[in-house]
């Protein structure tokens, strides 16, 4: 709401204007306001307001009345998102292994235990050459062969720095999902 003369005068004083200057500015602003009021003292064509009222009625009686094309667009976007989600889910689950004890889910454990000695691709090749063997058995065979080569010396297997650490490792440390190594 516009200020009255007193408020405006106080405002001008707060801005550090001299009393004369304040008075003059106040008068000029008021004169400008009055002039504007006088020059604009006309009301609208009543038809404009009638049409506005019709629009208000229309909006209130049909809330969220988006144009029809927007409804279709929103539906199309929702359908596209649903299809993309379905295809994504299908692909994701389609790539998942069907047998829990074989395939990529075992890899972290294998990597942890024999990461320096037995490459995964070697195991994969072995797996192809020995289709009748389970992956666990294959891995165990490889580990036993490897350990046997170094006479089952822990230092030779894990290195000097890591051998103590290995001894201190609890069974729980190995007891992870996937292949049991101990």
Partner 1 sequence: MEKESLSEKLIQCQQGQTEAFSWLAAEYGPRLYRYFYRITASQHDAEDLLQELFVKLIEKIGTYRHQGRFEHWLFSIAANLARDRGRRRQRTAKIFTRAGNFDEKIKMTPARQASPEENLHRTELHARLQKALAQLPEADRRIILMRHYGQLSFAELAEHFHIPLGTALAKVHRGLKRLQRIMTENERK
Instruction: Out of 13, 18, 35, 177, name the contact with partner 1 by CB under 8 A.
Output: 35
- How many residues make up the chain in this entry? 182
Phi-psi region of 81 (alpha: psi -120 to 50; beta: other; left: phi over 0): alpha
Is residue 9 involved in binding partner 1 (CB under 8 A)? no
Residue 17: count of CB within 10 angstroms of its CB: 16
Tokens read off for 141: 């065979």
Q: Smaller CB distance to partner 1: residue 12 or 114?
A: 12
53/165 with CB nearer partner 1: 53
Asked if residue 175 lies in contact with residue 109, where contact means CB atoms within 8 angstroms, the answer is: no
CA 2 to chain centroid, in Å, comes to 48
Q: Nearest distance from residue 21's CB to partner 1, in Å?
A: 11
Shortest Å distance, C-beta 2 to partner 1: 5
Binding residues for partner 1, rule CB under 8 A, total 37
Q: How far is CA 108 from CA 103, 111, 161, 172, in A?
A: 11, 5, 22, 16
Stretch that binds partner 1, among 24-32, 82-90, 125-133, 163-171 (CB under 8 A): 24-32
By rule CB under 8 A, what string of x and - marks binding of each residue 55-94 to partner 1? xxx-xx----------------------------------
With b for 16 or more beta-carbon neighbours within 10 A and e for fewer, the 112-128 pattern comes to ebbeeebeeeebeebbe
Using CB under 8 A as the binding rule, the residues of this chain from 37 to 56 that contact partner 1 are: 37-49, 51-53, 55-56
Q: Which position among 36, 70, 72, 152 is part of the footprint of partner 1 (CB under 8 A)?
A: 36
- x/- binding map, residues 99-138, to partner 1, per CB under 8 A? ----------------------------------------
From residue 148, alpha-carbon distances to 32, 135, 156 in Å are 103, 20, 11
Applying CB under 8 A, which residues contact partner 1?
Answer: 1-3, 7-8, 11-12, 15, 25, 28-29, 31-33, 35-49, 51-53, 55-57, 59-60
């Amino acid at each position: 709401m516009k200020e009255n003369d007193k408020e405006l005068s106080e405002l001008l004083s707060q801005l550090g204007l001299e009393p004369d200057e304040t008075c003059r500015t106040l008068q000029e602003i008021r004169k400008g306001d009055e002039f504007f009021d006088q020059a604009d003292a006309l009301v609208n064509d009543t038809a404009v307001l009638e049409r506005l009222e019709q629009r208000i009625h229309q909006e209130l009686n049909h809330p969220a009345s988006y144009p029809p094309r927007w409804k279709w667009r929103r539906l199309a976007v929702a359908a596209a998102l649903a299809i993309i989600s379905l295809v994504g889910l299908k692909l994701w689950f389609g790539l998942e292994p069907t047998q829990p004890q074989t395939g990529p889910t075992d890899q972290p454990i294998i990597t942890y235990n024999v990461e320096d000695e037995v490459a995964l691709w070697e195991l994969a090749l072995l797996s192809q050459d020995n289709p009748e063997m389970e992956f666990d058995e294959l891995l165990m065979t490889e580990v036993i062969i490897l350990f046997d080569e170094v006479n089952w010396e822990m230092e030779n297997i894990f290195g000097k720095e890591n051998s103590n650490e290995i001894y201190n490792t609890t069974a729980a440390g190995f007891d992870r999902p996937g292949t049991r190594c101990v």
